[in-house]
Structure formats: structure tokens, C-alpha cells
Structure 1
Amino acid sequence: MTDGWKARTKAVHGGTRRSQYGEVSEALFLTQGFVYDSAEAAEARFIEAGPDEFIYARYGNPTVAMFEERIAALEGAEDAFATASGMAAVNGVLTAMLRAGDHVVAAKALFGSCLYILEEILPRFGVEVTFVDGVDLDQWRAAVRPDTRAVFFETISNPTLEVIDIAAVAEIAHAAGAAVIVDNVFATPVYSRALSQGADVVVYSATKHIDGQGRTLGGVILGSREFIRGTVEPYMKHTGGSMSPFTAWVMLKGLETLHLRVRAQARTAVQLAEALDGRDELSRMIYPGHISHPQHALCDAQMGAGGTVIALDLAAGQKAAFAFLNALSVVVISNNLGDAKSIATHPATTTHQRLPEARKQELGITPGLIRLSVGLEDAQDLIADITAALDVARGNS
């Protein structure tokens, strides 16, 4: 039904299931279970449930199914499984497919919780993990082995915004028979072309741009129907990481405005990057959509835009970074991203705080680094707020 529609139409109408009342806004089915007409009907459903038949909220729900179908249509995936959080999606896809003795190659520039799963949890159960510099294709070639089961990376890394060549890494991985799993949060479903560029599985924290208004936690795993229903669903429904119906309803509402919000945020991010480039207080201004970024051409070819996040590295270190943060009046200090409100984060002391100092230095997470998620405020107000805060930071350097 959605095959001929453009992306914005899919984001508004994809996956809609109307009840007998013909509601315009999607129905919220707040129920953990479902009633059967007979014992025989219950038995038959547990043997094989039809597309509009449900058993238990942990297994599936009409509202959740609408979100899964809509995001799958938008991403160009055959199927999707909605999860309780973005990290439930990352953990779920990796643990569902991996077994003791498997080998994984991952980019080392990852969100702190992703690193915890790869460094701490998977090795406990006999999975070997090799980390590489994600932008160095020679390192991927050297690390991938005949027994490599999967490769994992953020298409744009958090928080230093390295852009990884999806098609090139996929070619290396597929030659060894490995699956390509990408965390695509910074690219967003609006700019994502990951599946057509070689990714086998795409993971999102729906908490970010999909909700986009700081209301709920959620995640989603997208891929082939065989993988989602044959590998992911059995694991997730038995381990309890599925999305709640209320969260799915919020996410459906978020998808309706996703394109409008993300494109507006990305346009503002470009204006901010241009205004901040070359400021004396900054040792680095990192934005994939700016010509100064080392993977700018790749980002443009891969996404067609630079996304909604900028990184600012204050040359004078943590004292200046904290002075900058404390001087902001429009931008709020928090640790989320992809929100309607602009958010500034100090990764070294928050999201990546647990990393050893040497690892932070290796990843470029300096004491002066600020991750700036660009919201929906007026660009000129944001420029004025950030430049005024940089002036304060200069006085504290």
C-alpha cells in the first residue's frame, strides 16, 4: 500500500489500522492481553497468530504494530521490532544473533552504553570483539575474519561525529559472510539510506528524533522479515524488551512531524556551523555538513545533509566548557539529543564519563568538548546565545 508513496506521506499514514469506529488519530490499545472466542481459538493463535491477531503485549499489540509498520515503510525495511529503549534495541539485536565463539568487529567510537555491551557484556558469554578506527577501511579489512558474524558501528559517531562509509564497510563484511548492523541515530530516518548502501540491520533510539520532544524512551530494530521475526522477535518477546503501547502511540505522533522537524533542525545546524567556524575559543568545530569536516564529501553522498548535531571543542578545556554551559540561556544542559529544544552536553563528564582517560583521549573526547544538539528555536537566537556563552568562556580560560 505504501510502496508508491513519498517518505513524508509514509511518515503520516504508513501502517494505519482503524478500529470499527473509524478514528482519524491512531487508536491507543492499552491492554496487556487479548480475549479469544473459544479454547480452540486460543490454541490456534498460539500455534500461529495472523497479521491482525495478538496474544500478549510483550509479543505484540495493535498500536505497536502500527509504529513498526510505519517506521519500516519509512526506512525501506521489510519489517521492524519496537523496543523499550534505544539500548534495548542495540543489546537485543546483538544478543539475539550472537553465540559463544562468534566474532564481532566494531568501531571504537561509540556511545558509552554501546561500548559497555561490547566490552563488558558480550565477552562474558564468549563473544570476541575487535575494535577498529571506523573511518580507516584498512583496519576493517585487517580485523574481519572468516568467523566474523557481524560488524557494528554508528554511521555518525557519538560524540565526535566521524562519518563511516557504510557501503565500503558493508562490502568488506559481506565478503566474509558477516552481517552489517548500524546505529543510525545521528543520520535519522529522514536522511537514512543505510539499507540501500549495504546495511543489513538498522537500529534507532526512537527516544531521539522520532519522538523528538523529550517524552518517552523507545527503540526499534529494522531489517529483513526473516531476521526480525525469526531471530529478533523470539529473543525480545521472551526477555521482555518490547515497547509499550503508550510509547508506540507517542512515537506514531512523532513520525507525523519528523521530516518537518529534522529538516528544520539540520538547516539551523548549517547556519550555526558557519557562524561558529573559526572562533578563537574553539580548537575544533565539528559538523559533517560543513566543508571543514574531513568526511564532508562522504556525508553529503551518504546522507545529503549534515544532520542535527554539532560538536564544539573549547581550547581552554573543562573550566571554559563549564563556563560556556552555565552561560547558556536558550540552550539547555541535558544528555539527550534530537529534541525540539537545543541541548548541550559535556560528554567527558556525563555520557562518556565511565571511559578511562586514555580511551577518551583516543576517541577525541577532550575536557573541552561540547555536543550540541540543535533544536527548533530560531537560528539567530541560538547564534546569539552560543556566541555570548563563548564570550563568557573566553573570560574563564
Structure 2
Amino acid sequence: MEMDIEKRTLRRISWRIVPFIMLLYFIAYIDRVNIGFAALTMKEDLGFTASILGFGAGIFFWGYFLFEVPSNIVLHKVGARLWIARVMVTWGIISGAMAFVEGPTSFYVIRFLLGAAEAGFFPGIILYLSYWFPARHRAGVTALFMAAAPISTALGSPISAALLEMHGVMGLAGWQWLFIIEAVPAFILGVAVFFFMTDKPEQAKWLKEDERTWLIQTMAEENSRKAADAKHGILSGLANPRVLALAMIYFGTSAGLYTLGIWAPQIIKQLGVSSMTVGFLNAIPPIISVIAMVWWSRHSDRTGERTWHVILACLAAAVGLVVAAGSNSIIGLIAALTLVNIGISCAKPPLWSMPTAFLSGAAAATGIATINSIGNLGGFVGPAMIGWTKDQTGSFAGGLYFVSGLLVLSAVLTLVLARSAKPVTVTANATAR
């Protein structure tokens, strides 16, 4: 009977929550990285060098860094429904303003403001999932949520490439239409969040009474079990050594993720193909990585193991970047980028299952936000370094080697963390997926 309630409840909350938050992240990721496609023509129109493009694309994460922790604290206090709605409406407006960039200064300012507006969304969703799903199911659910990033690349790449073809419509460039049209869904969904999202299980009228009771009791028991050594206060989340270690691990994975999101179209384009071809080729690696991510995270949930699932994935991505740096053929390059996509996508769900295993309450809100804000600075360092090395050497290779090194460092830090602290694992049982 208990197993039946668990299955029914998890199935119901999964269908209610996961597709919706995937859609939100799908739009969020497109608005973060569509600069990579816009740059195919925007760069020439505005006279941007690779360094300007890399710095401007990456400065998004400084806005993210400065406002991430405060944003997640507010979310914990006022609820996800209200705060995520605010986040999405704000970033939709600012993302659309990218269409009116006129030079480096306005480019930097709007990208920074976009990061500040979006701060709190991703860690807020990770925190939100910890309210609804027991730890042993969390990596699999997190993987489904995070699958929206590679899916958005797969579907968004051809769409972004097609929008560039609107050049000249109503006197606007194609890249301007790209920013305007792709900003609209964020605003609309922000309004939808306010009416659709439920803050806590106690408020879930769409659950049956026995399902709601089971979920509330299960989450309460889980929180009480970790209460003995879990940290709950805001400062505990900020200062916990394991939080800082996870932030540095996430730094490398973020550098890899946004290297792909921002520079992959440019790297493919240099082999002499059209923008539309770039759109379709850039969609291939993330499609494959989604399948790998879901399988890998479910394997992590089933075995209860997190550490080696992160390490092996980071090393695979590092190898892929090295191979990509030396590839001179379309087939070789797409194969290498596929390996990078698989590695980065597979590392993130088990990594994000770690902090909620030893943090709760306000500490979870600040700890998750700290990991995401510091770690996402890799999204500045990676793309900025690639742009700088491209201007200095005329090649993407040096920057790709650099980001590969960051991923190796992430793997090493994960091993050190596992050896110096109690293993961050969950108990696998017959009901774990």
C-alpha cells in the first residue's frame, strides 16, 4: 500500500511540475545563449571583435553572481510562485532590449542586467524540487529539468538561424528580430507561473488527500533524519566548506556549458558552412546528450552514487574539448562536440543532488545559490578566454584547451571532496528509479 501511494504521488507531481519547469528552463537557456547565433551577423554589423563578444556574453554571469544569493533568499521567504514569475517577466523585458544594442557599452550593460534579472531562477528551481521530491529520486528529476538546456539548443538552433533570415523586415536586422521574438515567451510564461505553480506540498489541492499526506510526512521525515548534521541558517549555507568545493566543481562544468552555448555556432561556422547549416549541425550533439543525461542520472539514483558519476562525466567533456580543438572536418568536430555535450549534461544532475543531502531550510536556499552564483562565473571565464585567445592567435584551440583543463580540475576536486568528507550518497531501494 505504501509503495502504491509513493508511485501514485510521484507520478502525479512529476507530470504536474516537471514538464512546466522544463519549459521555463528551455526559454531561460535560449535567452542566455542566443547571443551565440545573433553574433553570426551582429558581430559584423556592430564591429565587435571576438574579445568584445566573449566578454559581453560572459558578463551576464557577474550580474548572476551578485544577485543570486539575495534572490534565492527572497524566494525561500515569499515562495517560488511569486518570485519565479517576477524573475521571468523581468528577464523577458531585458532580453528583448538586446535588440537595441548599439555598441560595446550598451552590450555589456544589457547583458549584465539580464544576468541580474535572471538571478535566482535556476537555484530557485533546484530548491523548489527539494520541497517536492525525496532525495533518492532527485537526480532523475533534476536531469529531466536540466534536459531542457540541451533540448533548447537542439530546437532553438534551427529557429535562431531561421530568425536571422528576417533581415530587413520592418527595417530591423535579423539578429534584432531574434532577440525580440525569443524574449516574448519569457514574459508570457512569467504570468503563467503566477497562476499555475504551487509553492509547497501543503498547498497542493491537485493531489489526493492520501497522496498529499504521504508526501508531507515523507519530506518531514527526510528533513528530520538529516537534522542532526545538516545546517539550516543562512550563514551556514554561505560558509560551508562543502558548498564552496561544489561551487568550484560547478565552475568548470559551467565554463564548458557556456563555451558550447556561446561559441559552438562560431566554431562550426569557421568550417565554411551557411548559418542555416550551422543551426542544424549545432542541434545534433544536444539531442544525443539528452538521452545520455537521463540514463546517467537514473543510474546515479538507482545506485545511490554521486561522486564517480560527476568525475567520469567531467573527464569525458574534457577529452571532447581537446579533440574539438584539433578537428578540421565536420564529422570529427560534431563527434567531439557531442562528447562534450554528453559529459557536461551528465555531470550536472548528480552534482546538484549533493547539496540538498546536507543542507536544509535557509541554508539550502543560500547554499544552492552560492554554488550556482560562484560556479556560473565559469560561464564568464570560459567564453571570455576563448574570445581573447581567438583574437590573439586566430584559433579557438587555446581557449578550448583552457576550458578542458577546468573540467579536469572539477573532476579532481570532486574526488578530493569525496575523500575528505562523508560520502554524498543516497540510499537506493526498490522504489528508486
TM-score interval, smaller chain = under 0.3
Structure number with higher relative contact order (C-alpha < 8 Å, ≥ 6 residues apart): 2
Report the TM-score when normalising by structure 2. Answer: 0.26
Structure having the higher helix fraction is: 2
Structure having the higher strand fraction is: 1
